[in-house]
Amino acid sequence: MGPWREEASPSPPGDESSEEGEMERRIVGLDLGVATDHTAVIMDGEGRERGRRRVRPTRTSLEALLAVALAGAAEGTVVEVVIEPTGPAWLPVAVFFGARGHRVYRVSCQRASDLRKYFRRHHKTNGIDAATLARMAVLEGDALQPVELRRGAMAALDREVRVTDRLTREISSRITRIRDLARQVMPTVGGALSKQLSRTDVEVLRAFGDPRALVALGVDALTEMVVKVSHNMYGRPKAAAFMDAAIEALELYGDSDAVPFEALAADLATEIALLEALVAARTAHERRREELYGEVDPAGVARSVPGVGEQGAPLAVTRVARPGRSGSGHGPERGPPTGPHLLHPDGGPGSEPHQGPLGHGHPPRPPPVADARTGHALRRPRHRRPTPLQRGRSNHHRRTLDSARGGPPATPLQEEAGEGPSQRPRRTFQRRRQRLDEATFPEGHLLPQPHLRSTGRRT
């Protein structure tokens, strides 16, 4: 990304370069469709609309859109594509334009919605959405974030981390459902189940989800099964707890046909089978994730951070890819994102010095500070003022201490020459305000203040 023009100078139709010879901006607002075609609106740097098209996620359709966007533009013009991250539809667009040297930006859905409501108060169409995205590059460049695609081992690691996380959440939901089903069949079975559902619990519920079958088996046979499955970790106490839960369930439900024991037992077996399939799939992905992490972070920088651990290191690498890539408001008017790469202390792609925004009256934001040894971005301390509640707590604590000491400390009184201590405390704030007024306004223009005298005492 290069520096942008400070002011967009108008150019006559057909002349696609400014008087200074800089490239004319070409912006494509692309409203992504999930089940329908995409809608594209093409604009220039002045916000003038140059065309609209319907686009499909194919190479031919995207090449046609690129040709229309570059029609009449100078050679080397870079197209800026602005999208909202709608499901997986953004990936083909980002790969296509990024591979050809063009820039792809994503925008916050809330910011786009606010601007859309400003342009059209009462209705919403795909064309309005696409035009809104294109105008955001002109009106609110700071709201855009550049899309950076992960490549190679980093892209594969990111996918493995996501898959592992999704499988872990599904496994947790399956375990919760197995516990709920077991409590429906045997309401007091919670005392027999381990805090973390163990292999012994799963095998007992799979084989004897029906309490009638469990009671018919007997506690001695159940104890042998528990000892064998747990490899002598559990014994007769666990088997007796399951047996007691089954007996209590039969006493509670009796001969009622409102509880289908056989159907509930079959549901339990199905959930357990799904749980085992998920655990086996997650194990394979975890093995692959560990291999990819060794390629991405061979020095183990992420795992050296306290509190990250073995499982959190791959997640930290994929989530903290490069300091400065987001959260700094880097848009098309601020230049490229800067800052060293996480695993490249010498700097990564786009680590050139930041030139600052053009056309703005404030200095550029300083780049993030990085640790010289690890390359991690260091957080700057943020000094916050205390909230009213915190100030109230401080005052309450001070009053409590004062009451324990017999009252607040005496207020220092102003001493006048030859008069001894005054009868009232100094009006410090009013005197300070009077001095400020005297320094701000010329003499003779001050408003009269009858409650103040030159001595600072109240009349």
Q: Is it the case that residue 38 has pLDDT exceeding 70?
A: yes
- Confidence band (pLDDT; 50, 70, 90) for 274? very high
At 224, give phi and psi (nearest 5°).
Answer: -60, -40
Q: Which amino acid is at 179?
A: R
pTM (2 decimals)?
0.61
Q: How many separate domains does the chain show? A: 2
| Size of the chain in residues | 459
Residues 189 and 111 in one domain: no
- 248 domain residue, yes or no: yes
Stronger pLDDT, 230 or 332, i.e. the higher one: 230
Tokens 């791959």 identify what position? 314
- Confidence band (pLDDT; 50, 70, 90) for 136? confident
- Confidence band (pLDDT; 50, 70, 90) for 302? confident
Average pLDDT in the chain: 75
Residues 132 and 163 in one domain: no
* pLDDT, tens digit, 9 for 90 and up, residues 184-199: 999 999 999 999 899 9
Q: Which of 457, 82, 180, 150 lies closest to 318, judged by CA?
A: 150
CA distance 54 to 328: 33
* Average pLDDT value for residue range 433-459: 50
Per-residue burial over 61-73, b if 16 or more Cβ lie within 10 Å, else e, is: bbeebbebbbeeb
At 344, give phi and psi (nearest 5°).
Answer: -130, 90
Domain end among 266, 293, 320:
293
Q: Is it the case that residue 160 has pLDDT exceeding 90?
A: yes
Q: How many other C-beta atoms lie within 10 A of the C-beta of residue 372?
A: 8
Tokens 């820039």 identify what position? 103
* Average pLDDT value for residue range 17-41: 78
CA distance 78 to 45: 12
- 60 domain residue, yes or no: yes
* pLDDT, tens digit, 9 for 90 and up, residues 247-272: 999 999 988 889 999 999 999 999 99
- 120: domain CATH number? 3.30.420.140
Residues 130 and 40 in one domain: yes
Residues 217 and 168 in one domain: yes
Please give the structure tokens belonging to residue 256: 């009622």
- Per-residue confidence (pLDDT) for residue 329, from 0 to 100: 43
* pLDDT, tens digit, 9 for 90 and up, residues 318-347: 887 566 555 544 444 444 333 333 333 333
- 313 domain residue, yes or no: no
- Per-residue confidence (pLDDT) for residue 10, from 0 to 100: 36
Q: Which of 79, 74, 77 lies closest to 104, judged by CA?
A: 79
At 10, give phi and psi (nearest 5°).
Answer: -65, 145
At 256, give phi and psi (nearest 5°).
Answer: -65, 135
Q: Using the 8-state DSSP alphabet, how is residue 190 labeled?
A: G
- Per-residue confidence (pLDDT) for residue 137, from 0 to 100: 82
Distance of CA 267 to the CA centre of its chain: 37
Q: Which of 237, 234, 245, 177 lies closest to 210, judged by CA?
A: 245
Q: How many other C-beta atoms lie within 10 A of the C-beta of residue 383?
A: 5
Residues 140 and 165 in one domain: no
Distance of CA 411 to the CA centre of its chain: 51
Given its phi and psi angles, is residue 152 left (phi above 0), alpha (psi -120 to 50 degrees) or beta?
A: left
Residues 94 and 185 in one domain: no
- 2 domain residue, yes or no: no
Q: Which of 138, 115, 147 lies closest to 42, judged by CA?
A: 138
Please give the structure tokens belonging to residue 287: 């093995």
The answer to whether the beta carbons of residues 52 and 142 sit under 8 Å apart is no
For helices 261-296 and 152-185, give the axis angle rounded to 10 degrees: 160
69-76 — which CB contacts under 8 Å span 24+ positions?
69/26, 69/28, 69/42, 70/26, 72/14, 72/16, 73/16, 73/23, 73/24, 73/26, 74/16, 74/17, 74/23, 74/24, 76/23
Domain end among 293, 321, 337:
293
Q: Which of 266, 316, 298 lies closest to 165, judged by CA?
A: 316
CA distance 265 to 40: 55
- Per-residue confidence (pLDDT) for residue 394, from 0 to 100: 52
Please give the structure tokens belonging to residue 368: 């993030």
* Average pLDDT value for residue range 276-284: 96
Domain end among 229, 263, 293:
293
Maximum separation of any 2 CA atoms in the chain, in Å: 106
The continuous run of DSSP H or E covering 415 comes out as: strand 413-416
| Cβ within 8 Å of residue 78, ≥6 positions away | 23, 26, 101, 102, 103
Q: Which of 94, 137, 93 lies closest to 115, judged by CA?
A: 137
Residues 92 and 51 in one domain: yes
Stronger pLDDT, 326 or 65, i.e. the higher one: 65
Q: How many other C-beta atoms lie within 10 A of the C-beta of residue 241?
A: 18
Per-residue burial over 319-334, b if 16 or more Cβ lie within 10 Å, else e, is: eebbbbbeebbbbbbb
Residues 203 and 287 in one domain: yes
* Average pLDDT value for residue range 26-48: 90
Q: Which of 340, 373, 333 lies closest to 356, judged by CA?
A: 333
- 128 domain residue, yes or no: yes
- Confidence band (pLDDT; 50, 70, 90) for 401? low
At 123, give phi and psi (nearest 5°).
Answer: -145, 170
Angle at 395 (CA atoms; ends 392, 401), nearest 5 degrees: 145
- Per-residue confidence (pLDDT) for residue 33, from 0 to 100: 87
Q: Is it the case that residue 125 has pLDDT exceeding 60?
A: yes
State the residue range of the domain holding 213.
158-293
